[in-house]
Structure 1
Amino acid sequence: MVAILGGGLGGLSTAYYLLKNNVNNNNNLRLLLLEATNYCGGWIKSIRTKDYIFEQGPRTIRPKGITGLNTLNMMQDLGLSEHLAPISADHPAAKNRMIYVNQNLHVLPSNLKGVFQKNLPFSKPLIYALFNDIKQPHKELQDDSIYNFVERRFGKEIADYAIAPMICGICAGDAKEISVKFLMKTLFEWEQNHGGVVKGMMRSLFKSKSGEELQLSDLAKKSQEEKWNVYTIKGGLETFPVTLCEFLKQNEVDVNLNTRIEEIEFVDSGTVLLKNSTGETLKANHVYSSIPAYSLANLVQKQHPELSKYLNKIPFVTVGIVNLYFAADKLVSPAFGFLVPPIENSPILGVVFDSCCMPDQNGTVLTVMLGGRWFKEKFGDDATEKKLFDIAMQEIKKILNIKENPSVYNVSILNKCIPQYVIGHYERVEKIRQYIQNNNLPISLVGSSYDGVGINDVVYSAKTQIKGDCIYK
């Protein structure tokens, strides 16, 4: 038996790919998925009514690259093709992405023409950033923060007004702490190997492409032909994990909710004992852990304190989410929303204009994101939902000039919800996996703690981990 810890998207995807591997290799492997709560889907949660959808976690998915296309392949296999709602490259939600600087909203350039024009808050056209990269001397490093890297290669304004708010939007983190390998590994390697990003880019043009070839589904091909920018699911993104969970149950994966594991004991290379909160012990041949690194650290601490210490070194942040529904239409201009650079010292990270980027929304629907890396600093240890709501409304009224109060709202405090890939993260993860290998432990790690925080990353992490585990090939 193979046990999967966690019923979030990482655990569900792991079960999905193990199931596919079972079928393809004519195996008869029993799969047991264990989820501590009464819900599968992790941080993906949708509140649905006839007038609006409140997304408490992610709301859109990018279709680009091998990881994005891989997710679309899964979507088609699950029968979700007709339920997807794409946003094309010419949609306002794709073209109009803003930042809030010096008490004003500024639209970031979204095409090549904009790169050659001066756009506030930047003092020069963005093309000048490339000249800055060309003249910078080489600096040899093992890793760096994404902020330092961008400031060094492209200038402080790009780091402050483009990269820092983008990191807030992706992982609610501080660009001065996040590893450059998190989003710009290729650019960093160009700098280290060729002395600069532009030099590395020019040399890469003459190299043949390599890497995994992915067989594309009709849905994945359609996304390329129609130039999708992002997409969501009609009725809420929660439809994805719910459908995936039902698919697993229909294919005899044993899904156990309200089953909290409190300790893991490794007996030998093919036996592991899982002790749950009721005193029952489950026996498995192998475990896939998709739960947060800090949760796994608690489970292995007794038998493997060194492994526990490594796992606890992956930090997480808490995010406040305030969903707002206004009955009036068009209270905001057509756009995806805006982010706030950390140098503005704002209590909010940004605002998503859901009624523009999601279908089936009446009135005006907004989502305010608060805290992240700065949650405790801004709100203290006793943050309440009322406090977050009051701050969100104060900022909304000031920035968007909305006078009225929402007809409906929802506040969620997502405690330790997003891992932070701080400098040295990938070396840290390698050390964790090396410890597991050296000690011949029957456990594999998947999920957002290790190989990427986005939906596509989590799905692809499960696929590649299972592919790499030769005992299940």
Structure 2
Amino acid sequence: MAAILGGGLGGLSTGYYLLKNNLNTNNNLKLFLLEATNYCGGWIKSIKTKDYTFELGPRTIRPRGTTGLNTLNMMQDLGLSEHIVPIKPDHPAAKNRMIYVNNHLHTLPSSFKGVFQKNEPFTKPLIYALFNDIKQPNKLLEDDSIYNFVERRFGKEIADYAISPMICGICAGDAKEISVKFLMKTLFEWEQAHGGVVKGLVRSLFKSSTDKELELTDLAKKAQEEKWNVYTVRGGLETFPYTLQRYLKENNVDIRMDHKVDEIEFIDSSTVKLKNKAGNKIVASHIYSSIPAYSLAKLVQKQHPDLAQDLDSIPFVTVGIVNLYFATKASLISPAFGFLVPPIENSPILGVVFDSCCIPDQNGTVLTVMLGGKWFKEKFGDNCTEKQLLDIALKEIKSILNINDVPTAQNVNILEKCIPQYVIGHYERVDKIRQYIKDKNLPISLIGCSYDGVGINDVIYSAKTQVIKDCT
């Protein structure tokens, strides 16, 4: 019997891939999924009404790369193809992505032509960044922050106005702390091996790809052919984990809600006990842990304090989410995906997503304001209330977007320790954690955003990778 810890997207995806492997190998594997709350789906939550949809966590998914196409394969297998709503290259949400600098909104270049034009707040066309890379000397490093790397190769403006706000949007983090391997591992490897990004790119053009191609479903092929920018699910992104949960139940996975585990005891290489304070025990042959690293650290602390220490050293940040709905006939915003705010602006907000442009079936104007992240405590202190975040969000959109209307509906969430930070040395730390598990022959696999990527696609692919590894 295998036990899955956590009913977020990582845990649900693990159950999905274990079932698929079960069918392929004709094994009779009993599966348990243990979720500490009364909800499966993790941070993916949607509030759906006839007039608007509020996404309390992620709202769109990127379809590109192996991980993105893999998710689309899963979507089709779950019967969600007809519910997918893509944003294609000609959509305003694909073309218009902005940053807020010096009290003005600036649209970032979205075409090849734009790279050769001067666009504020940049003082030169972005093509000059490549010339900067060519003339910069090599610097041999094991790891570096993504900010330092980009500043070194492409210049300070690119680091401040392109990369720093991007990191805020992806993981609510500080680019000066996040590892370059988080987003630019290949570019960093080109610098280290060939002395620069452009030099590495040129050499790569003459090498044949060794990547194993993913067998694509019709939905994944369509996304490639139509060059989708991002996509969402009609009715709210919550539909995705809900459908996964239903699939698991239909295939006899024992899903136990409100089942908190307080301690894990490893008996031997094929026996592990999951205990709670009420004295209940579940014995399993293997655990798939998709809960945050800091939560797992508490469960293994008694038996494996060194492992717990390494798990607990992966930092997480808290993000405030303010959803706003304005029941207006005319839109209060220009069509765009939204805007991000670079950290050098010292703003209390990370950015604003224009949901009424990105999400279908919205009436009026729908916005999501993101606050805090790496700077949550610095900006809002230890006892921040939802009312404080709402007031700050309304003040900022009034100042930046000139919206003076009172929202018709609103929702405020403080997502405590919701996004891991892949700081310098993260990947070496994760390797050390997994090596400890291997050396001690512990029957546990680590899944999800704490280790293998913070995005939806990364979490799903992490589950697939670990299941395949354990079943071969």
TM-score w.r.t. the length of structure 2 is 0.99
Q: Where does residue 254 of structure 1 map in the other structure?
A: 254
SS of the residue corresponding to residue 178 of structure 2 reads: coil
- Spell out the pairing of 1:52-91 with structure 2 (5 A cutoff): 52-91=52-91
- Equivalent residues of 1:141, 1:192 under 8 A apart: yes
Write out per-residue CA displacement over residues 65-113 of structure 1, whole angstroms, 9 at most, x where no aligned residue: 0000000000000000000000001100000000000000000000110
- Spell out the pairing of 1:166-315 with structure 2 (5 A cutoff): 166-315=166-315
Q: Where does residue 4 of structure 1 map in the other structure?
A: 4
CA distance in 1, matches of 2:430, 2:98: 34
1:42 aligns with 2:42: yes
- Shift in Å, 1:212: 2.4
Write out per-residue CA displacement over residues 418-445 of structure 1, whole angstroms, 9 at most, x where no aligned residue: 0000000000000000000000000000
CA distance in 2, matches of 1:437, 1:362: 53
- Shift in Å, 1:278: 2.2
Write out per-residue CA displacement over residues 345-368 of structure 1, whole angstroms, 9 at most, x where no aligned residue: 000000000000110000000000
CA distance in 1, matches of 2:148, 2:212: 31
1:134 aligns with 2:127: no
CA distance in 2, matches of 1:32, 1:91: 43
Q: CA RMSD in A?
A: 0.5
- Shift in Å, 1:158: 0.0
Q: Where does residue 25 of structure 2 map in the other structure?
A: 25
- Shift in Å, 1:227: 1.4
CA distance in 2, matches of 1:244, 1:361: 25
Q: Which moved more, 1:274-283 or 1:409-418?
A: 274-283
CA distance in 2, matches of 1:231, 1:460: 18
- Shift in Å, 1:211: 1.6
1:338 aligns with 2:333: no
> Unaligned 5+ residue runs, structure 1?
none
1:162 partner amino acid: A
1:438 partner amino acid: D
Write out per-residue CA displacement over residues 28-79 of structure 1, whole angstroms, 9 at most, x where no aligned residue: 0001000000000000000010000000000000000000000000000000
SS of the residue corresponding to residue 245 of structure 2 reads: helix
Q: 4+ residue stretches of structure 1 with deviation over 6 A?
A: none
Q: Where does residue 158 of structure 1 map in the other structure?
A: 158
Q: Where does residue 408 of structure 2 map in the other structure?
A: 407
CA distance in 1, matches of 2:247, 2:282: 24
CA distance in 1, matches of 2:241, 2:366: 23
Write out per-residue CA displacement over residues 165-203 of structure 1, whole angstroms, 9 at most, x where no aligned residue: 000000000000000000000000000000000000000
- Equivalent residues of 1:316, 1:416 under 8 A apart: yes
CA distance in 2, matches of 1:48, 1:265: 41
- Equivalent residues of 1:59, 1:237 under 8 A apart: yes
SS of the residue corresponding to residue 208 of structure 1 reads: coil
2:428 partner amino acid: E
2:447 partner amino acid: V
CA distance in 2, matches of 1:276, 1:48: 35
- Shift in Å, 1:467: 1.0
SS of the residue corresponding to residue 296 of structure 1 reads: helix
2:270 partner amino acid: G
- Equivalent residues of 1:259, 1:277 under 8 A apart: no
CA distance in 2, matches of 1:109, 1:445: 39
TM-score w.r.t. the length of structure 1 is 0.99
CA distance in 2, matches of 1:230, 1:203: 30
SS of the residue corresponding to residue 184 of structure 1 reads: helix
- Shift in Å, 1:277: 3.6
- Shift in Å, 1:226: 1.4
CA distance in 2, matches of 1:305, 1:276: 19
CA distance in 2, matches of 1:340, 1:244: 35
CA distance in 2, matches of 1:210, 1:256: 42
> Identity percentage over the alignment?
78
CA distance in 1, matches of 2:204, 2:89: 26
CA distance in 2, matches of 1:188, 1:397: 40
Q: Where does residue 468 of structure 1 map in the other structure?
A: 469
Q: Where does residue 370 of structure 1 map in the other structure?
A: 371
CA distance in 2, matches of 1:452, 1:235: 26
Write out per-residue CA displacement over residues 377-403 of structure 1, whole angstroms, 9 at most, x where no aligned residue: 000000000000000000000000011
CA distance in 1, matches of 2:219, 2:251: 23
CA distance in 2, matches of 1:59, 1:465: 26
- Shift in Å, 1:276: 2.1
- Shift in Å, 1:310: 0.3
1:432 partner amino acid: I
1:418 partner amino acid: I
CA distance in 1, matches of 2:400, 2:279: 53
Aligned length: 471
1:394 aligns with 2:395: yes
SS of the residue corresponding to residue 229 of structure 2 reads: strand
